[in-house]
Amino acid sequence: MQLPEVELNIYNKNNPVEAKIVENRIVSKESSPNYVRHITFDVSGTDLVGRVCVGQSIGVMPPGEDEKGRPHKMRLYSVSSPSGGENGNPALISTTVKRTIEEYEGKIYLGVASNYLADLKPGDSVMLAGPSGKRFLLPEKKESYNYLFFATGTGIAPFRGMMLDLIRSGCSGSVALLFGCSYRTDLLYPDLFGEMEKDHPNVHYLTAVSREDRRADGSKKYVQTLLEDQRDLLQPILEQDNTLIYICGLKGMETGIYRELLRMGLPGYLEWKKDAPEPESLESTLKTLTDSELKKQIRTTERVFEEVY
């Protein structure tokens, strides 16, 4: 499988470029305690036009200095617009940003870049760098594959663009999005994915609302548990050797997904670095190994793409 050649660091943190905000809309529900926004930059007149690919990130330079008087560091945000640009306009690049608000020892901390971006209004300027990333991409012949996209929270960003790209390219393979969030109010772009599923029989939109939905045994639903709960749909897709898996979001879901894939006994996605356990001892091995031990023993193949944080 061939990944496309993409542009890298047309601009960098020492040489950023000015872009204008054209849209900044909230995409989480009004009743959600979280604030997630879809933010679109106009990069007209810069060398970024038409040269940022979905799966890549752009760098945002928040103005000002930290408490030690040093300029704020650049932060990377995943692009959520399709490769041809938002609404087919190659000068428009979008991202999906959640305000970071944390409490530590009784004090509230606001994430510098996410809150800066969330406060910007159409017409405001922002300094950008990038693009960066050359591995978390759709393959060259993207329409020739099936896809399972696993996302939690704003990990959805690249998959919004990728799914728009795949639909535009006429991909007829199966495309399943497995999205996890805490509450139903935190489903991101549900209308877009619902429409895609309605209009395209090859698209499947599956959600795991961890603090509301329960599995048959009463346990929490997570993106990885969908593999078991939706096995009739997903196993036949995963058994095809032109299926690719993409994982984006919380670090913890990685090993959760590995465990389910190993249980399903599907070849082609994961390899044991040393000897694989016998099938009859697989379950006890999985129970014994901690997440970090499992990660050390497993290697993903070129059919698995990950961006976790």
Q: Which of 211, 214, 263, 296 binds ligand A2P (CB under 6 A)?
A: 211
- Count CB atoms within 10 A of the CB of residue 35: 16
For the segment 246-275, give every residue that binds ligand A2P (CB under 6 A).
Answer: 250, 252-253, 256
Say if residues 116 and 43 touch (Cβ distance below 8 Å). Answer: no
Q: Among the candidate windows 65-73, 131-139, 217-225, 298-306, which touches ligand A2P by CB under 6 A?
A: 217-225
Euclidean distance between CA atoms 309 and 304, whole angstroms: 16
Single out the residue of 14, 11, 22, 97 nearest to residue 52, CA to CA.
11
Structure tokens at 200: 């395209």
Residue 78 found at the interface with ligand A2P (CB under 6 A):
no
- Burial group, residue 182, by CB count within 10 angstroms (0-12, 13-18, 19+): middle
With CB under 6 A as the contact rule, the residue among 153, 160, 161, 307 that binds ligand A2P is 153
- Which residues in 186-303 belong to E strands, given as ranges? 203-209, 243-249, 270-272, 298-300
To ligand A2P, the closest distance from the beta carbon of 109 in angstroms equals: 17
**Count of residues touching ligand A2P (by CB under 6 A):** 15
**Strands 107-110 and 125-132, bridge-based pairing:** unpaired
DSSP code of residue 161? H
Among 115, 169, 182, 300, binds ligand A2P (CB under 6 A): 182
Angle at which helices 279-288 and 252-264 cross, to 10°:
160
Q: Cβ of residue 94: shortest distance to ligand A2P, in angstroms?
A: 19
Judged by CB, which is closer to ligand A2P: 22, or 117? 117
Q: Does 96 bind ligand A2P (CB under 6 A)?
A: no
Q: How far apart are CA 192 and CA 156, in angstroms?
A: 12
How distant, in Å, are the alpha carbons of 43, 78, 147, 302 from that of 299?
39, 24, 19, 10
CA distance 93 to 41: 5
Shortest distance in whole angstroms from residue 225 CB to ligand A2P: 8
Contact indicator for 49, 43 with CB cutoff of 8 Å: yes
The one segment of 67-75, 88-96, 138-146, 175-183 that binds ligand A2P by CB under 6 A: 175-183
Nearer to ligand A2P, 89 or 185 (CB): 185
**Among the candidate windows 18-26, 44-52, 198-206, 245-253, which touches ligand A2P by CB under 6 A?**
245-253
Does position 207 bind ligand A2P by CB under 6 A? no
Regarding 180 and contact with ligand A2P (CB under 6 A), the answer is: yes
The identity of residue 125, as a single letter, is S
Q: How far is the CB of 282 from ligand A2P (least distance, A)?
A: 20
Question: Which of 32/169 has CB closer to ligand A2P?
Answer: 32
Sign, CA torsion 236/253/244/77: positive
Q: Is 158 in the site for ligand A2P (CB under 6 A)?
A: no
Of 1-9, 14-22, 66-74, 178-186, which part binds ligand A2P (CB under 6 A)?
Answer: 178-186
Of the pair 145, 193, the CB lying nearest ligand A2P is at 193
Q: How far is CA 65 from the centre of its chain?
A: 29
Shortest-Cβ-distance residue relative to ligand A2P: 153
Which residues sit at the interface with ligand A2P, rule CB under 6 A?
A: 152-153, 180-182, 186, 210-211, 222-224, 250, 252-253, 256
